[in-house]
Amino acid sequence: MGNEDVLFQKLGRVFPPGTVLFKEGETGREMYVIQSGRIRISKNVRGEEQVLATLPAGEFFGEMAILNNKPRSATATTVEECKMLVIDPKTFELMLKNNIEIAVRMIKKLSQRLQEADDQIESLLYKDANSRVVHTLTRAADSSGKQVEDGIKINMSVEDLASKTGLEPEQAREIIGRLEKGKLLKVVPDGLIMADTNRLRKYLEYLSMKEQFENIQ
């Protein structure tokens, strides 16, 4: 029996699709590591659920409840059947003390999430919705984009893009449609492909200049 199987025997649980693991505002003292399946992280914004991210196998979440002992900042729901490790504070502390690799991976992941939060704040500073979308796309391409035959691919849905830019999904779809028509990107079933990120950055520069001098007649 492998180490992962032994770990799952001790800490593992299986959750059916549609299970709400925790809700925004609840207290909680457990974190989760996804072994299989996907988790939707969402937040209530002006009375409507906004999807912040969809996490695949290999990701972890819920750690802030252990680290700062504060209420949950978002809601976590299983998209499909999920196998996960459920870790309490004592086990979490022992894992960090006894395995330096886990500690380093945790630090790197938290740093990445802080960078993503900074990028999202920077995006929201743009008044123009088009600029927000293009800025978010170029940052995503730089941080997590993968080279494919047609350009740079990011695993981001239109709904994810809308939540990151503070737009309604329909607004984001409309902007993505214009970018696709202009051959700046292509929508694929599992993400978005940017044909030329340099051209997309030039378009962002154009939008920024336009916004800067919009009051000049």
pLDDT per residue over 80-132, tens digit each? 999 999 998 888 888 778 877 777 777 777 777 766 666 666 666 667 888 88
Rounded distance between C-alpha atoms, residue 126 and residue 138, angstroms: 14
The residue assigned the tokens 């035959």 is 149
CB 85 within 8 A of CB 7: yes
Rounded distance between C-alpha atoms, residue 64 and residue 75, angstroms: 13
Predicted pLDDT at 120: 63
Q: Which residues of 200-216 are buried (b: 16+ CB within 10 A; e: fewer)?
A: bbebbeebeeeeeeeee
Rounded distance between C-alpha atoms, residue 123 and residue 139, angstroms: 9
Rounded distance between C-alpha atoms, residue 3 and residue 80, angstroms: 25
Rounded distance between C-alpha atoms, residue 79 and residue 14, angstroms: 13
Predicted pLDDT at 154: 92
Structural domains in the chain?
A: 3-99 (2.60.120.10), 125-212 (1.10.10.10)
Give the residues of the chain that fall short of pLDDT 50: 1
Element at 55 (helix H, strand E): strand 48-55
pTM of the predicted structure, to 2 decimals: 0.60
Predicted pLDDT at 84: 94
As given in the structure block, the two tokens for residue 159 are 């709904």
Q: What is the mean pLDDT of the chain?
A: 83
CB 37 within 8 A of CB 83: yes
